[in-house]
Amino acid sequence: MNSKTKLLYTILVLIALLLPFQDFIYLVFAMKVLCFALFACAFNLLLGFTGLLSFGHAAFFGTAAYITAYFCKEAGFSPELGILLGMVGSGVLGFLIGSLAIRRQGIYFAMVTLALSQMVYFLAVQLPYTGGEDGIQGVPRGMLFGLIDLKDDVSMYYFVLAVFLFGFALIMRAVHSPFGQVLKAIRENEPRAISLGYDVDRFKLMSFVISATLAGLAGSMKSLVFQLATLTDVHWHMSGEVVLMTLLGGMGTILGPVVGAGIVVGLQNYLANIGSWSTIATGFIFVICVLAFRRGVVGEIVAHLKNKN
């Protein structure tokens, strides 16, 4: 089965699994899962397939959320234009941060991304356009292409689903392309990739910018779904959560981040009633998953199926 067939089958399975959600679960919860699943998939492109651990991806997620929220609320832009501006903003920020971060490797790369992300958080606190600690609230969802009213949760759900499938398909196409093979070569053995004549820094930067742009797309969608952008979106806790989602689902797998996002968001949602104990319960479940699924949930399933065959 070639990569194109795998891509088609995977998308069809996702559509089959996600379309019936509107009849069985809370739509806002489903949209939150889809937004964070896209965020985790974007992060996995950088960590799972390029081998670069970023502790600052919340900067791109939150920056796009603020840009989309500001222009949709204050300037009255349409949702598609607000999302596009959010993606451009996160992509430019990704280029600036990536250009500096790729000069270092390992833990130094991670620390550079964290430090620069904290600078973005400081700007979000201080700039008058972000609303400070109050954030930007009451963001209108607007009319998609002037035709579809996104105030309706069902319409918004299908829009979020379409955007998620677009981002997911784009990541799958990138991973199974020659570009993706070079990324995997860099992850496995960077010195050998250099010896083969590849401009490793350029490929790293391209991966970083694509990951940042798609993370921004997820942030923009989240700001429209919940109609607000807050400091939580750019806080380092958000960067930690996306790392957790990726590791829990299965780093370096296609569906792993989606499953990881579903688990983390589900735990946050359904354990919220127990207050501060939810953090302890989430940590306990995470420890069990790490001990039982060393490769992540999807990673272990894939490994088991390979061994079985």
Most confident of 6-10, 140-144, 299-303: 140-144
Give, in degrees to the nearest 5, the angle at Cα 221 between 219 and 227: 95
Letter for the amino acid at 294?
R
What are the φ and ψ backbone dihedral angles of 141, each rounded to 5 degrees? -75, -30
In a domain, 308, yes or no: no
> What is the CB neighbour count within 10 angstroms for residue 152?
12
- The answer to whether residue 6 scores a pLDDT higher than 60 is no
- Mean pLDDT in residue range 186-193: 88
Least confident of 15-24, 45-54, 180-189, 260-269: 15-24
In a domain, 64, yes or no: yes
288/164: higher pLDDT? 164
**pLDDT at residue 265, as a whole number:** 86
Going by pLDDT thresholds of 50, 70 and 90, the confidence category of residue 18 is: low
Going by pLDDT thresholds of 50, 70 and 90, the confidence category of residue 48 is: confident
93/7: higher pLDDT? 93
**pLDDT at residue 293, as a whole number:** 73
Where do we find the tokens 């958000």?
238
Going by pLDDT thresholds of 50, 70 and 90, the confidence category of residue 12 is: low
- The answer to whether residue 285 scores a pLDDT higher than 70 is yes
In a domain, 7, yes or no: no
In a domain, 306, yes or no: no
In a domain, 158, yes or no: yes
Least confident of 1-15, 114-128, 259-273: 1-15
Going by pLDDT thresholds of 50, 70 and 90, the confidence category of residue 9 is: low
- Mean pLDDT in residue range 21-49: 85
In a domain, 281, yes or no: no
Residue 192 sits in which domain range? Answer: 26-236
- The answer to whether residue 3 scores a pLDDT higher than 60 is no
The string of pLDDT tens digits covering residues 191-200 is 898 988 888 9
**pLDDT at residue 208, as a whole number:** 95
Mean pLDDT taken over the chain: 85
Whether the predicted model's global pTM rises above the 0.75 cut: yes
Maximum distance among all alpha carbons in the chain? 59
In a domain, 269, yes or no: no
- Alpha-carbon distance of 140 to 223, in angstroms, equals 10
**pLDDT at residue 118, as a whole number:** 92
In a domain, 299, yes or no: no
134/279: higher pLDDT? 134
Q: DSSP string spanning 161-183?
A: HHHHHHHHHHHHHHHTSHHHHHH
Q: Please state the domain count of the chain.
A: 1
Helices (H), 48-177: 58-73, 79-101, 106-126, 153-175
The string of pLDDT tens digits covering residues 63-107 is 999 999 999 888 888 899 999 999 999 999 999 999 999 888 888
**pLDDT at residue 203, as a whole number:** 93
Query: What is the tally of helices (H) and strands (E) in the chain?
Result: 13, 4
**pLDDT at residue 15, as a whole number:** 58
Task: Report which of 24, 113, 27, 38 is spatially closest to residue 83, judged by C-alpha positions.
Answer: 38
**pLDDT at residue 299, as a whole number:** 76
Give me 292's structure tokens.
């039982």
